[in-house]
Each structure stands twice: as C-alpha cells, then as structure tokens.
Structure 1
C-alpha cells in the first residue's frame, strides 16, 4: 500500500449498504400486513440480500434471517391474516347430483343465516370461541361506564351481546368476573350497599345481608368481649338469636365490592344473662367480671352476696367454699377466660365448671 496515496476508498452502492438492507427488512413487516403472499416474497428477497450483499459476519446474517421471518409473522398477525375465524364457519352447500335427484337447487339468496346462541353470563373467552365456531367475528368492550381495557378475557363475564347477522359479527359487553352487570351497556356497576346491622341478632343480620345482595362468604366474625371467643359462621348460625351485632365494618350505605370484607363484631347474651348489652369499645371489657384478672371481691360486693359489674349489671359475687377449694363465680361461659384456678361455676345449662389451664396455657372454664 502506498502511504502517500490520499485518495478515498471507493464507496459502495447504496443498495449494498446496511441502512438499505434494514429498510428492506422493515418492508417485510409492512407488506405482510397488507398481503401475506406479497410479504412472503419480499422476505425471501431480503434473506437472499442479507447473505449476498453486505459484508456482515455470519451470526449477524443468521440473526437478520430469523428477524425477517419474525417480521413476516408479526405483520400478518397484526392485520389478522393469521386468525382462524374462517375455520369455524359453516361450509356453503353446493349443488350436486343429490340435489338434482331431489329436485332442489341451492343459491346464496336462499341460504339460511347463521345463528348465535345467547352467551350472557359465560366467560368472555369461551363466548368468543363459540362465536367464531358459529361463523361470527367477535369483538368486546367493558360493559360499565368505566371503559376499562380487557386484557385477560378468561376473567371477564359477558353481560350483553349484540349480533349483526348480515355482517356476521357480534359485540360482547363484559365485566370482571364477580362484578354485577349494569342495567344497560355502558352504565354504572350496581354494587350493593351495606345495611345498618348494629343491634340486630346474627339471624336478622344474615337476612339483611342476603336481601342487600352481599355474599356471605365475604363476612368475617369476631367477638367484642375479652372473655368470649369468636364464633364460627356455623356456630353463630346455630345460635343466631343469641349473638348480637355490636360493631360493623364497612359503615352503613358503603359500597360492598367483590374485594370488600365485611366485619361483624358480635356479643352473646340471652334473657338469662345479667349483662345484655354491647361494650363501648371492642376488646375492652370482660362480660363476666370474675374473668377479669384485676377483679376483686371487695370491688363489687355489697354485703349481700350480690355486686355490680362494670356495665352496671348485677352479678353473683364470689364466695369462698367451706372446704377452701376455691370460689364460686356463678354462671360462666365454657371456654371463656377465668382468673382464679380452682374456682367453680356452672354453665347456663347447669353443668359444673372448673377454672383451670386450657390448651393455650391460660385459665379457662372447663367441665369439672
């Protein structure tokens, strides 16, 4: 090489440059979106050009080859040319020997129009699949006023459908599964509102929740007294007139959506109980004062064997047994907390109870 040669190297033709080849690859996606066959021919030309014209390394040429094929599929898929909508359409009958024998002829004007079943209440993806099989082209949108985008069709449920038999198309209006359908397409979601349950028995509260359209599976139960255990839904239902709603969340008139958890805090009493009311705050009061670790006989004894609870209700005071084996707490609730090991009591059914360590290590009323 002559070091004194300052002439620039000869330039390559524009159609052999890298920008020209990249433009040819981009043309594959553009033309395949218009016509799949035309895009396929341009893809073949682009692959040949990649391996013949530029001075690329072998792995760059291989990557460009796969890229051309991907662009073909991408362009055709975006334009819907790869959809299998036509696969489920019924085939048109053609006249043949059998028709001639029967003395009938078939024509496009006498062919029956395709029919579409009612898919209201079904999953959106299944509805669109059935619509394609019936020969319809489906579309979808949010049935509510919110106008949300539908990404995963399997978690949306059809509320309305509007079919155009002439165009063989159907539009589905859907909401997320678990949401209520609006009264009309594009209307607001009619979420149920929370009723006022404070003061009701559990049985009455369940009836009001069902009347309001609130799913009982979204309801959780808790107790309000420190010495009363929260019931299960089954247990509260069996004794529905003994459990009373003291607090509720959400408040009255609040919307209850499918993500809302309804909390009911219950207190339990019957006509035979001395305390028949809710505490001012949750988990602050012992329903049976003798269960309070800070409870003392002198605090509520009036000298006649009776006392007054923190809620102003009378209760039987503890009295020492002649044998020195503990004190008597009167009527107690099985399983509730107690403070004096060895103390005795009776359940509301008259069953003898004894204060002793429970499975959690804390003193509870147990069958003696």
Structure 2
C-alpha cells in the first residue's frame, strides 16, 4: 500500500436531531425551580427558619413530639376528697337516722355499746346515740365518728362504758290510784294492775279515788326496762283503812 496515497475525505456528519421539547434546557431549569418551590411549600424551609413546615421541629426533619404523653391525664393522682365541715351532733338520735345524717355530712360511722354489756347493734332502729367521738380516718379518706349507743328504751349511762342506771320504783303507798298512776308513768312504768286489798270488797270499774295500801315492786327497787314492767297495787276504798296485810277481810265473818 502506498503510504503517500491521498486520504479519502470523511463522510459528511449527519444533520443534528432536534431534541424533544421536554428535554430542552429551559424547560429543565423551569421544572427544577417548580419542584424546589413546591418542596418549600410542602415541607418548609430545610434550614429550620420560621418558614418550616407544619408539625416539623426546629432544626429537625421529624415532627415535633407532644409536650406531655397522652397518658398524663390517666395517670394523674386523684384529687383529695374535700374536708367535711364540723361533725353533726348525733347525740339523742336513733342510730339509723344518725348514720344517714353522718353520711350526708361526709363521715363514716362505727358504733359500740355505751353500757357495760357489750351487746351487738343489729337493729339500727332499736338503738340511740349517747356519746360521739372522732374515730380517726379510713383508707378511703373519710373521717369516722365513733358512736356510743344504748337501747332506745334505756337511759344513757353517766359515762361511756359504765353501767346503765335504771329508774327505781317510787313509793306510791297512801296515794290515790290516779295519782299513783302518774308517778309510775313518770319513771316509765306503763302497766298497772289494781286489785282490792280486801277479799270481800269488789274493785269498782273506776277505782281512781281508792288509795294504795301495798305495791309490788317494792319502793326503791331498780326497774330495768320499765316499759315492760308491771306494777301491782292493792287498793282500799276511800272510806276504809288499809289492813295490816293484803287479802284481809273488811268485814269479819260472823261468829257462830
């Protein structure tokens, strides 16, 4: 081959192919600007400035955490019960009523027999309050009233835990029957049975004017639960003296 032979000319370059409209530089630049601007609107300023996106923490790409956990309300300590007012005066009330009044005032109640008998208080309607003291506080936070109680028909003892002092039988001898009944009623005796002191004299339907010669129970005897006791009175007519002992005869039997 001849090294000096002339080099044939290069083939002509093909004509430039026109680029699609979406790949032209101007459109690409505009697309970048649109995408960048949309990102700012959607996600905020990545520099953490005042224009950062909603819910995005300053200087962070993560949403802001809540200031307090959602369970804070559930774990909040329960508020203390309001301190009740001055305790109500329950002395003299029946136990059932006393419990209701105490509960309405914000107090719990415990009870004990105020006498020396230590009986259980099973029927709240059958007991009354003689003493009340503060009994501390229960786990629930309510203060407690300790009530010393006795049977409704019983008098209160002189002090909590002491023996109940029952009334004593009054001396009604010599009194008219109507007056004797008033004296017995004053100490709680409701049942009175009059009888003629003479076996040969019949007691009238209305012995109000007859006088008492003998009585049972005897004067001065303690009457426990007087509402259930019965007083037996021996009466003589207004115009007759009392005999030396009951069941005598007013008129001696004629001698043969």
What TM-score does the superposition give when structure 2 sets the normalisation length?
0.56
Please say if 1:265 is aligned against 2:238. no
Higher RCO structure, 1 or 2 (CA under 8 Å, sep 6+)? 2
Q: Flag the 1:199–1:117 CA change in 2: closer, same or farther, 3 A.
A: same
Partners of 1:231 and 1:161 lie apart in 2 by 51
Cα distance in 1, alignment partners of residues 201 and 251 from structure 2:
9
Q: Kindly report the root-mean-square deviation, in angstroms, between the aligned alpha carbons of the 2 structures.
A: 3.0
Query: What residue number does 2:243 align with?
Result: 279
The aligned counterpart of 2:129 is 158
Structure 2: runs of 5 or more not aligned: 1-78
1:173 corresponds to 2:148: yes
Whole-angstrom CA distance in 2 between matches of 1:146 and 1:278: 42
- Quote the Cα distance in structure 2 between the aligned partners of 1:269 and 1:198: 13
Q: Which of 113, 119, 131 is 1:148 aligned to?
A: 119
Are the equivalent residues in 2 in contact too, given 1:140–1:173 (CA < 8 A)? yes
Report 1:326-341 matches (<5 A). Answer: none
* Contact kept? 2:189, 2:229, Cα under 8 Å: no
Matched, 1:256 2:223: yes
User: CA separation of 1:127/1:225 partners in 2, compared to 1, >3 Å: closer, same or farther?
Assistant: same
Aligned to 2:163: 188
* Equivalent pair of 1:114/1:165 in contact (CA under 8 Å): no
Q: Which has the higher helix share?
A: 1
TM-score computed with the length of structure 1 as normaliser: 0.41
Give the aligned partner of residue 130 of structure 1.
101
3-state DSSP class of the match of 1:154? Answer: helix
* CA distance in 2 between partners of 1:120 and 1:229 (Å): 49
CA spacing shift, 1:230–1:126, aligned 2, 3 Å: farther
The answer to whether the 8 A contact 2:174-2:211 is kept is: yes
1:127 is paired with a residue whose SS is: helix
| In structure 1, distance between residues paired with 2:215 and 2:148 | 35
Shift of 1:253: 1.8
TM-aligned CA distance change 1:108 to 1:198, over 3 Å: same
| Larger-Rg structure | 2
Unaligned segments of structure 1, at least 5 residues: 1-106, 271-275, 290-294, 301-368
Distance in 2 of aligned mates of 1:236 and 1:178: 30
Quickly say closer, same or farther: Cα 1:229–1:172, change in 2 above 3 A: farther
Count of residue pairs the alignment pairs up? 172
How far residue 170 of structure 1 moved from its aligned partner, in angstroms, is 0.4
Q: How far 1:112 moved relative to its partner?
A: 5.5
Contact 2:112 2:148 survives alignment (8 Å): yes
Per-residue CA distance 1:273-304 (angstroms, 9 max, x = gap): xxx2123443442x466xxxxx66xx59xxxx
Inter-CA distance 125–201: structure 2 relative to 1 (3 Å threshold)? same
Residues 219/176 of structure 1: CA separation in 2 closer, same or farther (3 Å cut): same
